Structure 1
Amino acid sequence: MRLCDQDIEKYILKRKIIIDPTPKIDKITGLTIDIHLSNKFRVFKNFQKNVIDLKESPKIVKFALRENISDEIVINKGKSFVLKPKDFILAMTTEKISIPNNLVGWLDGRSSLARLGLMIHMTSHRIDPGWSGNIVLELFNAGKSILALSPGIAIAALSFEKLSGPSKRPYNIKSKSKYLNQSSIISSLIYKE
């Protein structure tokens, strides 16, 4: 069962869901909270190694991924990030989210942005029970127009679903919690699996 706006407000007031900065009430509608684009982006370079073979040893995959395949860019106030058609980048939310072990969060794109061709996640729209940090977005421009992305825009909506009970193994106690408490845009850590 997804939480409605009233329940989301209660969870936030009781600090069961922690969102920093705390959203204004008018940003909680129906069953979602608007979340916003930060000024940090990670752009992939055209790098030498065209294939990252995920069957290779973790050491080789780690080297391939750490081989300066991307750069973090910080956009100054009043500027926008230009996302060309068919470009893929990583971005981050302004808000830091902490979810208790009896909820799962769901990240969804905004319809108005999707109608321009902007995808905000490729597959990872689940926010695990016990997770905490800034959400990394996987932005892809599937449209035909260049999109100017301004930090601070409402980029996505977050909803919460109640689990049948508290999770026995929430994200914050797993030994392989690769992205817990992320406050910067972390590239893939698949080599840690």
Structure 2
Amino acid sequence: MKLSNEDICAHMADGKIAFEPPPTEDQIGAMSVDLQLGNAFRVFLPGKASHVDLAPPGGLKGEDIEALMGHVDVADGEPFYLHPGEFALGITVQRVRIWEGLAGRLDGRSSLARLGLMVHATAHTIDPGWDGRITLEFFNCGPLPLALRPGMRICAISFEALMTPSTKPYALSPTSKYKEQLAPLPSRISTEGAAE
């Protein structure tokens, strides 16, 4: 069952949902909270590899995946340009913490989607027990370049109550690949099956 704005505010008051920095009143909608775009991006570097092998035994190692992506930091007020057909990782301004009895769902904004911006390729579920900033998986499926600016409202998070709290919260799992992330992290698929 989805939480309403009243439920979200009650859970923020009792510490079951936390945002740093906290949202303003106009960021809280009927059943979601708008999140803002941070300053850090990751982009694939051209010419670094002929392909990415997604499965062992030939799959890339973690350091190889890291080397495929460059860092781009954008100053406040400056644009990050996402050209048609391009993919990039971004990050939210807000750090989000979710109690083990809730799951989050990330959604793009309809007004931005109508211009061709996708904000998550597939990863829209925020696990119970999450603690960190949220990496955004941008893709421009429109015909024109899009200028993304740090601080803009980029997506919204809503929450669903679980029937019982999870006994495997994300933040406590030894195999959680992205816990406490504060910057956009590239894929850590090479660590699957190994504790971090």
**If the length of structure 1 is used for normalisation, what is the TM-score?**
0.95
Aligned residue identity for 1:148: A
Aligned residue identity for 1:69: L
1:160-186 CA-partner distances (Å, limit 9, x unpaired): 000001101111121201100001111
SS in 2 for 1:38: coil
Aligned residue identity for 2:37: L
Percent identity (aligned):
41
Question: For the structure 1 residues 58 and 130, does the alpha-carbon distance in structure 2 shift closer, same or farther, using more than 3 Å as the test?
Answer: farther
1:140-159 CA-partner distances (Å, limit 9, x unpaired): 00000111111101000100
CA contact (8 A) 1:52 1:61 kept: no
Matched, 1:10 2:10: yes
> What does residue 97 of structure 1 align with?
96
Matched, 1:171 2:161: no
Aligned residue identity for 1:15: G
SS in 2 for 1:145: coil
Q: Report the CA distance between 1:59 and its aligned residue.
A: 8.0
Aligned partners of 2:176 and 2:143: how far apart in 1? 37
Gaps of 5+ in 2: none
SS in 1 for 2:38: strand
Aligned residue identity for 1:114: A
Aligned partners of 1:54 and 1:88: how far apart in 2? 17
SS in 2 for 1:95: strand
Q: Report the CA distance between 1:133 and its aligned residue.
A: 0.3
Aligned residue identity for 2:24: K
1:110-134 CA-partner distances (Å, limit 9, x unpaired): 0000000000000000000001100
SS in 2 for 1:18: strand
Matched, 1:113 2:112: yes
Range with bigger deviation, 116-125 or 40-49: 40-49
Aligned partners of 2:63 and 2:16: how far apart in 1? 39
> What does residue 192 of structure 1 align with?
191
Aligned partners of 2:27 and 2:65: how far apart in 1? 37
SS in 2 for 1:56: coil
Gaps of 5+ in 1: none
**If the length of structure 2 is used for normalisation, what is the TM-score?**
0.94
SS in 2 for 1:82: strand
CA contact (8 A) 2:52 2:59 kept: no
> What does residue 19 of structure 1 align with?
19
Matches within 5 A, 1:1-193: 1-57=1-57, 60-66=60-66, 68-193=67-192
Aligned residue identity for 2:160: E
Aligned partners of 2:45 and 2:175: how far apart in 1? 28
Aligned residue identity for 1:56: P
1:85-138 CA-partner distances (Å, limit 9, x unpaired): 111000000000000000000000000000000000000000000011000000
CA contact (8 A) 2:54 2:60 kept: no
Count of aligned positions: 192
Aligned partners of 1:153 and 1:49: how far apart in 2? 33
Aligned residue identity for 1:5: N
Aligned partners of 1:45 and 1:12: how far apart in 2? 40
Q: Report the CA distance between 1:78 and its aligned residue.
A: 1.9
SS in 1 for 2:37: strand
